[in-house]
Amino acid sequence: MVLLALYLSLFPALAALVTSRLISQIGAAALFVAPAAWVATEFLRGFLFGGFPWVPLGNSQVTVLPVAQLASVLGVYGLSALVALVNAAIAYALLTTGASRFKALASAAALLAAIGLWGASRVSDGSLTRQGTPIRVGLVQGNIPQTMKWRADAAREIFTTYISMTRDVVRRGARYVIWPESSTPFTFEGDPFGERELRDLAREVKVPILFGSDQVVTGERESHYNAAFQLSPDGMTAAVYRKIHLVPFGEFVPMSEWLTFFPPLVQTLAGFAPFTPGDAMVMLPVGSHLTSTAICYEVVYPSLVREAVLEGSELLTTITNDAWYGHSSAPYQHFEMASMRAIEHGRYMARAANTGISGVVDPYGRIVAASAIFEQVGLVEQVRFLTTRTIYTTIGDLIAYLAIALVAAALFATRH
């Protein structure tokens, strides 16, 4: 964790270094390049060495819905640019006097007001909540303590909990059931009895079931995957998605060959069996419609969810186990980052979490329903399969590439 924090600190440090250099060359006006420097380095933080894009600056606006609608055009990095630009204008005003100060503040205020008014109108219209085909989803939050999840003597209790909760949400009208990440207390394809029971459950309730379970593939070398299985109403495996973005130091150790200088860590690595990353986005069929899922912190990657929508996903889902986070701010941050993906793509987001927060977010970022953390609950809510695309879905993170180009140009122009 210390190594990761030290590494992540390099990115805001680089943004500050670039801004400082430009100010030394062209004065306070260089503050207006600072938003580009911030966005460029924030984007690189989510990209280099697999990336770690946890809580970008723009996510601070996800609950300010009129402003957050900008994400449907420019994505979360566009919101980061807006927040940084407003603050740059304030900083510039503090360092200048006269008309320049007024122009900076007035321009930032006018931009913010225009975006807010447009965003409020978009949310008020809410046309996406009346389009598409509706379906009721059941989100099963088993609330299994982390200390209990892999105990052999608790496996039967865990499994029967999910089975009974599934029957309950189907009885209440769910036509698509979603369990959390690693919800089966066994490897699905490696436990004939558990596999048979789960397939029989799908046939019994006659609805698709999405659940998380490890997958072991043998061959020349054995590979372990953090996977999401979807069973069709006839109990057959409709699709398997393997997690692409693994958690550093949790599911794999990045650059482990470079860390041999620290013996305690080397000893830990010796007994560490890392997961293998998946290599493709997989669509999950629900009747005639396509859905997609992101496993755990994959949902914080804007580009991954965009890839799913471009491949035809009409409903976004995410499955996770946030029990690790305890009562910290992390489960709330994680849920809000998932909400940002809904705004970016104009899709409903359905989220099933082992200990919470489970819930449904509409295409404008409004929370339709959400559980509390550390409660056992089954939510049944209506979502819609949607096919329209937002501007952001079409152009992707263009704002980040423009920011990189602007910073490069500014540094080149002031190279002497």
Instruction: Give me the catalytic one of 181, 314, 336, 344.
Output: 181
The strand order across the sheet containing 367-370 reads: 284-286, 289-295, 315-320, 349-353, 359-361, 367-370
The phi, psi pair for 83, rounded to 5°, reads: -60, -45
Radius of gyration of the chain from Cα atoms?
Answer: 23
Decide if 381 is catalytic. Answer: no
Alpha helices in 126-233 (DSSP H): 155-171, 192-205
Decide if 181 is catalytic. Answer: yes
Q: State how beta strands 315-320 and 349-353 pair.
A: parallel
Decide if 206 is catalytic. Answer: no
Instruction: Give me the catalytic one of 195, 243, 298, 381.
Output: 243
Q: Which residues contact 367 (CB under 8 A, 6 or more apart)?
A: 339, 359, 360, 361
Instruction: Give me the catalytic one of 42, 195, 251, 296.
Output: 296
Q: What sign does the CA torsion over 164, 170, 172, 178 have?
A: positive
Query: Cβ of 393: how many Cβ atoms within 10 Å?
Result: 18
> Residue 293 and residue 306: Cα distance in Å, rounded?
12
The phi, psi pair for 242, rounded to 5°, reads: -105, 130
Burial environment of residue 40 by CB neighbours within 10 A (0 to 12, 13 to 18, 19 or more) = buried
Please give the positions annotated as active site.
181, 243, 296
